[in-house]
Structure 1
Amino acid sequence: MLHFTVLLLCLLSLTLTSTDDATGYGPVFEDQPVDTIYPEESPEAKITMSCRARANPPATYTWRLNSRNIDQDEDNHYTLVGGNLVISNPIKNKHVGKYTCKATNDYGTVVSREAAVQFGYLDFFSSEEREAVYVKEGQGAVLLCAPPPHYPDELSFRWILNEFPVFIPLDKRRFISQTTGNLFISKVDSSDSGNYSCFVSSASIAKSVFSKFIPLVPLAERPIRKYPADIKVKFPDTFALVGQNITLECFALGNPIPQIRWRKMDGELPANHEVSMAGAHLQLYHVQYEDEGTYECEALNSKGKDWHRARVSVEAFPEWTESISSTERDISSDYTMSCEASGKPKPHVHWLKNGYPYDKHDLKFRGLTFEDSGMYQCRAENRHGVIYADAELRVIACAPTFEHNPVKRRILGAKNGRVVLECRPKAAPKASLSWSKGSELLFNSSRMLIWEDGSLEILNVTRADEGRYTCFAENDRGKANSTGFLSITEATKITLAPSNADVTAGESASMQCAASHDSTLDITFVWTMDGRSIDFDRDGAHYERNPNGGSSGELIIKNTQLNHSGRYTCTAQTPVDNVSASADLVVRGPPGPPGGVRVEEIRNKSVRLIWSSGADNHSPISKYTVQCRDWFSQEDWRDATTSPPDVEGNAETATVVDLFPWTEYEFRVIATNTLGTGDPSSPSPKVTTLEAVPVVAPSDIGGGGGTSKELTITWTPVQPQYYYGRNFGYIIAFKPHDVYEWMKVTVADPEAKHYVHKDSSIPASTEFQVKVKAFNIKGEGPYSLTAVIYSAQDVPSEAPASVEARALSATEAIVWWLPVIQHTVEGYQVRVLDESGGQRGIQSESGGVQQREPDKVGEHEAKLPLPHRGQGLQCSRIRTPQPSLPDLHQKSPYVHRSQGRFTGHRRSLVLDSKTLSMEFLYCKACLSGGQGFIYVWETVPQLRNLQHPSERRYIPLRGDIYR
């Protein structure tokens, strides 16, 4: 609570004349009680309410609770320690209320501000189990906190995940409302699975509690659906006090995660704002009246948008605009005590005298008496609080005296100038004043004037005016006088005045100044620019005095800037008089920023911009440059295209063209003259161009493959800046190559990248023509280039035949078979079963069987894989006994260690290595050398005479070939 303490001093009786009595004063608060929250579970079983006042003689103190006096004798819970009230073992239904302190001494009484005592508490959460929350992946979730009963209302909220103290981190996907405590997840994914507990803290009573755990169970959904933005946290109409900080909350559910934008409907967001918590918080710092208005938060994702608006109203705590201050007033004089307070609503003002309401509406005293002396308080109150201004009025009576303020012993006056001799004795009631020079009594004339306050003014003084001057003071209490001597000096004169100067920014300028003066006096030169004194210490980088000094006060301005233009005044002054001379400095430079940039006409690809010319800085503006930035470029300004292309220097409007439809823009203008380019203007208010039909088609049209009886179509989505309007989506047109009519479907998701058309009548591997175009609320755009794709292939219907296998060593075997004739086969799969029936070996596509355990019989089976995702029929099993192979006795010109690539041809292998590439070989001998196995091959030249040509897809094998 804002509080002013001001002293007004008053004498209480006509007989009060001693020094000790005069130095006494009424109580002035130095410490006052404040609102107190006492935790119900506090280990310290007492409350202390502070009250201390400075006073002479010392003050005595009394306390009131809810306007009733506290009697310590009747209630042993209360103890007075100095001025402080101590409440021991406080009881809620007995000691809650509003407390005030009174401080009293011989000069009067003052009352402190009210301070409330409340008991703070935070109950535990209910022990009942919380129900689990089941949510599909991609959907939003809200976990309710439901805090327990508490006081005060201010709480802070966090959420525990699985165990304390693991608190969930907040990001753009998760948000905790500090109003309700609820946890919001914009879109749930599998990582959110867990147990959640609401953790509530009360800073006022230093206590925290947490709820029972709430299980959150994400439910898998494939594919994960997308949902439009849906605002679930909405800030209400809000009242703020001037100077406060407030936070507006806004959060939305949706998939993709919505982006939050804030705006003020009737103007720009205040400069003192900050957006935090991934956009969910708008914080306004040090709120002012101009921040009042309607605020909007908008949540936007690719599926849609939502918005919410509410009003922020700004009111104010009472604040003094005119206060009261301590004073001594003469007996029988008139005096008005004024007190004004501002605030919203307008505060009600009333008065207290010595702690009691004062009947007078306004304190206008006519003929003060000693009974008017006392302690006065002005109290201003509105619904937001109360403030006090304290003062003491002292009424005095005494004979005139010059003891503390005599006439100056020596007074100097400049020849032909003006001089004032002051006469200010202390007297109550006010004394009558008169002057004499020597023995001559002085009266008002054309050259001499006695002011109402007693000062003597002499004009056009000459040497003849030198002499002794005496001031006489008299009232009904007595008389007094005081004398001073007037001396006349030579006048100060400017002998060299500064001259006007004209420079370009960056150059230096000089202002001359010299003066003559009385030789018995010191002279100084003071420079001002446009009436403001130049600070040579602070502005030493640009301003410098002539180092020669003396009677010259030359000013040097270095590296002039545009803000140095103005009127410079040199003042030569002595202790007696001063004289001035002025000159103008013009600094030419690039123009200043234009003002008032705004948009008047808005079309889909153009706007008309208007502005006001800024300062030309003494060089005519030759042209303007218009710049713009849109929502997509964020901070990057770029030169805009205008019509006409060149904007002349006398123009104050231009049409900006080649803009994107349905795009938020802001603009600024930069002026140029022959001396350079100036600073840009402030950005215009943001505007959105009108919607238009899209003109950009999706690119990279393709697709094919997929599951049987499906046609998969893919494309690269259009970038958001080319949406050109609301309700953006795609129209997909497709048809078999031999059909005339196109089939069309609509996809409403602007971020979609593919479409799958399912039709049981679609033949496998059928050629289709496909094209895609964009649409929005204004219409349809052009189609893309037509692409050719194929429908999905069928599952192979034939198994491999003539499957044979031979063991090569204790750990390896070779398998071969006849290929199927079907053209769409892309590869084969080999499975290995040991004799015990367990499956081992090859899950990837491989051409050799490795790492078999020795001394076991294996069954090998070849199986066709499905194209992409399909697998064909399984062939019959074959048995391969474990051989005992001889050592290798001869070398072959080609040795293959491990594997190459299988083709579909029986008993054949196509090698692919750095040594040999796609050469057809024939197996001549397969021998074992003890460690691992070695293939020995020789070339077969009849590659083109194969009955079954190689397929386009091969089973990859690891290894290398060397000679």
Structure 2
Amino acid sequence: MIREVKPSDEGRYQCVAQNIVGVKETSPASLTVHVKPFFSKEPSDVTAVADSSIELECKVGGDPTPKILWRRDDGKMPVGRARITDEKNLRIDRVQPEDEGVYICDASNLVGAITARATLTVHSSPEFTTKPQDETVSLNGLAKFDCVARGNPPPSVFWTKEGSQLLMFPGNSYGRMAVSQDGRLTIHGVLREDSGFIVCSALSVAGSATARAFLQVRSVGDVPPPIIEVGPANQTLPLHSVTTLPCQASGDPKPRVKWLKNGSAISPRNRVTIFDNGTLQIDDLESSDSGLYTCTAISESGESSWAGSLSVEKGPSAELHRSPDPSAFPRPPSSPRLLNATQSSLTVAWDPPPGANTLIGYTLEYYSPDLQTGWVVAAHRVSGHSLLVKDLKPDTRYMFIVRAENSFGLSVPSNISGTGRTLSKDSRAVAPQQLDEARTRLGTKVLSLMELGATSSTSVRVTWEVLTGDEYLEGVYVRFRELSGGSHMYNMVTVMNAGATQYTVSNLRKFTKYEFFLVPFFKSVEGQPSNTKIVQTLEDVPSASPTSITPEVINSTAILLRWSPPPPQHINGILLGYRVVLRGNNSLSESHLNTTTPSLTLARLSPLAGYSVRICGYTRAGQGPYSPDVPVTTAEPASRPRAYTPSTPTWLLVVTAGSALVLGLTCTVALYLRRRQLTKELGHLSVSGNEVSLLQSTNKDTLWIDRGGWTKDVTQGDYAEVDTRGLTTFINGRRDQPTPYATTTLLNRRPAPELVPLSETKIEEEPSIIPTNNSDTAMYYGAEEQKVIMKDKINQPKFNSAGNVATCNWSEFLPPPPDHPPPHMRAARSINQDVCVSPGVNRRCPPPLPPARNYWVDSNNSIASEPARAKHYPPPNQRPPPIPRYNNMGQSQSSNSSGSSCPYHRCHKAQNDENASLLYRQPINDEAYSQSKDKCVQSTLNCRSYRHNQEYDYGGPCWNEDCSSHASDTGCSCSESSCLYSEANAAEICAN
């Protein structure tokens, strides 16, 4: 079996079986591993400009080779422009805004299928759905211009006036001008200086577009006077004939026509008729009708006159001359245009009308709104198609009309030209046609903003590309604004270098986002803006310190410090934290905090001491300026009024007091019962009457553990086992065997028995089991031996040789614990295995044991009764001398022997020397100790002396069994009837 099959496991497998006879193979089996499709490269989101081509990649692996399917999630695939390449990628040519959407790549094979998505975003350059139109408005009138643009993303639309740097955005007012939310520009109270080109611009990250409209402001002085298109001609007619004198005038408003004869007004009468179109007709001519007839067209803007003579002849031989038919006049030329301007001249050109080969010439007229002179003939019968009009005034406006002339007369005038202005004395000469050409050239896409890069916290490098020639590119306006405040106020920097492709804008705000775009210009003509881009200046250190630093005194050694962060415009980056500096008279400390905790508790201050605090903020660029020092003091704050606390209900006080009383009574009863129980337990101890005072009142101070009774039925052959690790005189003592530390195993020395009648002691004939340190062995005492022990207890002397009370002062003999504890040495076994070592005050050994039968233990750990073979005891003269005992008051119980004993003792089992402890601060009688030592040495028993320097001195033989020593400086071992002593330099231990 193959676990976790991999493609590398694919192949042919055979099972081969062989033994000593031969080999057998199965037919090959083929393993084919199919792999679920997986993407080696998923399609990613694409943002493209309209009319460009895009390609979405989708690379898939698997076995068998997955099939790839492209589909559109929210629309139809652009048929004809979308195709699948050989690499299974999706390519769309000439993307359009409607191609935006989510495109999905599905890959599947026999094992499974996977899907990946990519979003196509198409940015389209702005285009106008509504363009502004030219407007002619009277002075103080209202002008309106509409401009609506669309694109993806939606473009920003703004208005400008040619020659002005003010950008007007929707939803804002700029004095007399306002732009509504839908992009309409309204100019209230139009002034003469408002005339000119109004430019609507739309721009976005995808590009820009511009549209222009001309605003003409008309006033009484600015509107040219009426123009007489056809006036009276000179005529010679016979007597009694009819004459017609035409006078066709045009103007705004429509003028009225008035006729004069030799300067006198003509009123209609019998033979004179004035038609509505201004034509004068005179019937039945008389000689008195001869004269100079003047046609005058009058309107609010002024008046114009045209004169013609009429001569009436009497004789038939007179040469007659009638007015030509208007249809014979030539057609008018085109509207004049301005080619060049100087301080005193303007160059005007026009195009000839059809049939110009029969013309005699052209008549050029001009009108100046500034001079208010009416139409003035600048030149008559000009043969060419242009004319330099001289002797004009500087910085003066002029407008022109031109007429064609043939043999029949003058044509009607051309349309009025645009207003031209001569140059002022301090300006450069600019040909009007150059400005028109510049408007045409710069009205297309000229610049492309390529890159914005922040070079510092206050500067940005702008890089662009010039897409057309620079003939009409005088320079570049770099416009930028802050995006943080949402303001449409753009700043501008002028780059007066047509060939420049980059510029560094400085003096920007730190760590601020800016939007940039470029505008080409030529003279006063601004071209189409470039696309926009956004950049953020680099981070810098804060330029201001934290504010509103307020210390609040908590107590005499602590102050709570609060503050506010620096103003947002002065942080200059991302505020990471604060540094707080505390300065005292002879101390200086600094703390660093993050921005989430604009407060700090200053603790461990000196009471009533003066300090100064200053704080600064820091960013990734570094630390800002510190705030001014703020003095603080640890004086106690003014006492604050305590909040009102409602009084405690009476019932709650009663319940609380009752509960406390019940609890107190319960504790008292429990304590009484406990002490009574302890008293009962102490009363059951089998001790001599003289040692009752040595008993302790609590079970924690005694070594014996209540095992529920120690007596056993004498007929039973069982034995007791005690784990000495569970026996301890210390609370929470260790349960394992501790390492020997300044301990001495003191074995029970059997004193010389004094035979007394059995009636002197009350000994119950019940067996008593004394557990030893060895859990595998139990020692049994018979009744006879128990009697001897009890006798020794009763008759031991309690006074020294002087007859005074012997005082046990162990502190004179006990040195401090050794640096290196002595090695463990096995304590000698004795018949009586109880050892008393007393480190606690008023400690005592267990009560005497009741008599029991004698038992012996064979090598197989079997217990047998031995009534016939009682243990042999040496005679009294061969036993060690008894050691005196004292009660807790230091009084000797017997004056027959001298010595000193300490009632301050503790009981241990034999062979458990680790549980033995030193005895401290207990008095001892030197003489008694010497006598005991001498007695031990003088006895016939084998004794051994151990010195502090670990050398051994062998004395006489001890009784019954061998002696043993432990490397301990000082120790005391107490049985029920004896104590042995040792000092710092030499300790003598005799084993029973």
TM-score of the alignment, normalized to the shorter chain, above 0.5: no
Question: Over alpha carbons, which structure has the higher Rg?
Answer: 2
Q: Which range, TM-score by smaller chain?
A: under 0.3
Structure 2 length normalisation: TM-score?
A: 0.23
Structure 1 length normalisation: TM-score?
A: 0.24
